[in-house]
């Protein structure tokens, strides 16, 4: 079991680095492990200022995770319009939003019981 947590920690760290490389904003990690009936252990949520930046964040995450961990998302959804892109790494699901779409769906409040960690960015 410890091995899985270590892998998740490595994956999360690498994903965060990929987001920060292209200045993704408002980054949150939701720890879903204590909740029942969840599809994964963690959500990582962030936003970009445009569909171009959303795609840049997605590409940065993919490249970094592929290069450093030799891992690939099981599934990616939403790249066409790049308003909300979901990247499924099985235990970790990444949501990359444009701000207005994130506010509209407000998935953080849907998972309000999850332990949430806000990531400070220096840009």
The boundaries of the domain holding residue 52 are 2-119
- Name the token pair of 37: 């009936």
Percent of the chain with pLDDT over 90: 89
pLDDT in tens, 106-120: 999 999 999 999 999
Burial (Cβ within 10 Å: 0-12, 13-18, ≥19) of residue 29 = buried
Count of domains in the chain? 1
Q: Above 80 in pLDDT, residue 5? A: no
Q: Above 50 in pLDDT, residue 1? A: no
Pairing of strands 42-48, 25-31: antiparallel
Give the predicted TM-score (pTM) of the model.
0.94
CB atoms closer than 10 angstroms to residue 65: 23
Alpha helices (runs of H) in the chain, residue ranges in sequence order: 2-21, 51-69, 99-105, 107-110
CATH for 29: 3.30.460.10
């Amino acid at each position: 079991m410890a091995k899985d947590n270590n892998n998740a920690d490595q994956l999360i760290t690498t994903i965060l680095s990929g987001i920060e490389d292209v200045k993704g904003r408002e980054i949150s990690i939701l720890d879903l492990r204590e909740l029942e009936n969840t599809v994964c252990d963690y959500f990582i949520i962030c936003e970009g200022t445009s569909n171009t930046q959303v795609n840049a964040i997605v590409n940065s995450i993919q490249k970094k995770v592929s290069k450093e961990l030799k891992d690939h998302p099981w599934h990616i959804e939403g790249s066409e319009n790049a308003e909300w892109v979901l990247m499924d790494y099985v235990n970790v699901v990444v949501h990359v939003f444009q701000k207005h779409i994130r506010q509209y769906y407000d998935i953080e409040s849907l998972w309000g019981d999850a332990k949430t960690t806000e990531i400070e960015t220096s840009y």
